[in-house]
Structure 1
Amino acid sequence: MQNTTDNIYVLVILGMAGTFLLVVSFIFFSIRNQNKLLRQRQHFQQAQIDHQKELLRAVIESQEAERKRIGQDLHDDVGTTASGLRLLIEMFKPGDDVKAHEDFTQSTKTIIDKIVKDVRNISHNLSPSTLRYYGLAAAINEHCTIINQSGKLEIALVNNAEQALEKLPLQTSTALYRVLEELLNNTIKHSGASKANINLNIVNDMLHIDYADNGKGLTADVELVKKGMGMQNIESRLLNINATYLLEPYSGKGFHIKIESPIV
């Protein structure tokens, strides 16, 4: 009888010890998993912060590059032309020669017209008047027409979203215009492409922009492409208007990007 009682006590103690070990093990693994999840969450949050910093850096660098370009344009075009006008005025000596006076008048008018044109072009690059007064569709069409006429690139524009584009806020229209402008500039400068296609459609109350060229493409590493300043600048503009983009996998057949933007 005593042995039986002792055995029961032993079994109870072993059961309690086993239960205790199970509870301790459960707590240990639970804490370990929570710490692991916390580290993963912290790593993900840090990656998001780093990505936002990269986007901000790209925006700042883009703005600085734009300021530098505008300053260079003012110096090379307006500044040089104005200096030539000043030199022409200094060299002119009034007299009785009617022909010389007429030539001087015509020359100064021509130079002033060039200055006005240069200033207008710089102003247009800063804030396209067509975009403000006539909307995104007209601005895209005008920009594509200018590039087509220059012979630098052949652009096929298909717009099936005319009415939807008229409803877009100016901020959204400006961002999308700058994105397409950036894409076209990249195609002209870096891709070696001869043709580009821009398709605009409405799908489920979303504006879909499909852009592609027949150039050499960027690289097979999509993540490396996204880290480029040009793509980061594009991503930051789209992020500000709650738009998204998808880079099509590299296939050696040019560059292809799909953009989705809310209409409202």
Structure 2
Amino acid sequence: MQNTTDNIFILVALGMIGTFLLVVSFILFSIRNQNKLLKQRQQFQQAQIAHQKELLKAVIESQEAERKRIGQDLHDDVGTTISGLRLLVEMFKPTGGEDKNYQDFTQSTKTIIDKIVKDVRNISHNLSPTTLRYYGLAAAINEHCTIINQSGKLQLTLNNTAEQVLEKLPITTSTAIYRVMEELLNNTIKHSGASKADIGFKTNGEVLTIDYADNGKGLPGDIETAKKGMGMQNIESRLLNINATYNLQSAAGNGFQIRIECPIVTV
């Protein structure tokens, strides 16, 4: 009887141990499968992000190529034609001699033509800034700020302590940063009601930091809503294309601030 009881106890113990091992094996198997699925999901998400970035890069490059083509056409074709028209006006002489009406007409015509030529050059420059291509980002930003200050639309202060780094950036990175600064300045001039704006470039050797701030009325809504606007989406897409991040700070009546951090990759 005692032997039977001992045998039953041993069988029960072995059964419990077997059940425990089976449960542990099942848990470990489930955890392994979950980790495998999680890893596959992460790889799929990374592949999706990489694909989206490639598509975004292709779109931005095609946009820049089209901007360059249109800008050159405006400068070479339209600008040259208008300049030729001005020469024709200067060469034309009435058969009856010059009178006051003719002189007034000639002067006003040349004034209008000169304004059109200037506007075409400005549009051409904005579409495809030659300074950026030939002299680098620092020179292009400085030129753009000078033009804005001369226009009287905004009092702009530029503090650049990273000029050597800006000169060595790849053209894709330089173009993206230039377009972002252009978008920020346009938004400030058109929508903020600001009288002053400050731009700062600095670097710690690995990251380029760009600080932009104005004294305007700030964003009308919350920051998350502002990020959905077309202007901020354009900025975000260009920064994403160069692996840059940004931090937005703004409140109604307290101006607008943004800090951009871009990893430094030189050519």
Partner of 2:141: 140
> 1:232 Cα shift?
2.4
Question: Do 2:220 and 2:251's aligned partners in 1 also have CA atoms closer than 8 Å?
Answer: no
Contact 1:208 1:258 in 2 (8 A): yes
Task: Summarize deviations over 1:5-41 as a string: whole Å, max 9, x none.
Answer: 2332232233223322332344345445655x36963
- Note if contact 2:154-2:197 (Cα within 8 Å) is conserved in structure 1: yes
User: 1:94: how far off?
Assistant: 5.2
Residue aligning to 1:99:
99
Matching of residues 219-234 of structure 1 within 5 Å: 221-234=222-235
- Following superposition, the deviation at residue 63 of structure 1 comes to 5.2
Question: Structure 1 residue 211: deviation in Å?
Answer: 0.8
SS at match of 1:207: strand
Query: 1:248-263 alignment to 2 at 5 Å?
Result: 248-252=248-252, 253-261=254-262, 262=264
Local SS of the residue matching 1:152: coil
- Give the structure 2 partner of residue 150 of structure 1: 151
Post-superposition offset of 1:210: 1.1
Q: Partner amino acid for 2:148?
A: I
Q: Which residue identity lines up with residue 29 of structure 2 in the other structure?
A: I
For 1:196, the aligned partner's letter is A
The alpha-carbon deviation at position 161 of structure 1 amounts to 2.3
**Is 2:17 the partner of 1:15?**
yes
Q: 1:214 to 1:113 in 2, by over 3 A?
A: closer
Q: Report how far residue 216 of structure 1 moved.
A: 2.6
Stretch moving more, 120-129 or 222-231: 222-231
2:212 aligned counterpart, secondary structure: strand
TM-score by length of 2: 0.70
In 1: Cα distance, 2:137 partner to 2:113 partner = 31
Equivalent AA in structure 1 for residue 4 of structure 2: Q
Which residue number in structure 1 is paired with residue 189 of structure 2?
188
> Residue in 2 aligned with 1:245?
245
TM-score between the two structures when normalised by the length of structure 1: 0.70
Deviation at 1:186, TM superposition (A): 1.0
Letter in 2 for 1:247: N
Would you say the 8 A contact 2:249–2:258 is kept in 1?
Answer: no
Structure 1: state its 5+ residue gaps. none
Q: 1:116 to 1:208 in 2, by over 3 A?
A: same
Q: 3-state SS of the aligned residue for 1:208?
A: strand
CA distance in structure 2 between the partners assigned to 1:138 and 1:28 by the alignment:
59
For residues 165 and 214 of structure 1, what CA distance do their matches in structure 2 show? 26
Aligned residue number for residue 118 of structure 1: 119
Query: Could you tell me which amino acid in structure 1 is paired with residue 12 of structure 2?
Result: V
After TM superposition, the structure 1 stretch with the greater mean CA deviation from structure 2, 184-193 or 121-130, is 121-130
Question: Could you tell me which amino acid in structure 2 is paired with residue 149 of structure 1?
Answer: Q
Q: CA deviation at 1:156?
A: 1.2
Q: Residues 48 and 156 from structure 1, CA distance in 2 versus in 1: closer, same or farther, beyond 3 angstroms?
A: same
Whether the 8 Å CA contact 1:55–1:233 is kept in 2: the answer is no
Structure 1 residues 41-75: Cα deviation after superposition (integer angstroms, max 9, x where no partner): 38955984897599689969x959x98xx89xx8x
1:216–1:254 CA contact under 8 A, matched in 2: yes
- 5 Å matches for 1:141-180? 141-180=142-181
What is the CA RMSD across the aligned residues, in angstroms? 4.2
Which position in structure 2 is the counterpart of 1:211?
A: 212
CA offsets, 1:128-181, max 9 Å, x none? Answer: 233334432232222222222323221111122233333334433332222111
Identity between Structure 1 and Structure 2 (%):
57
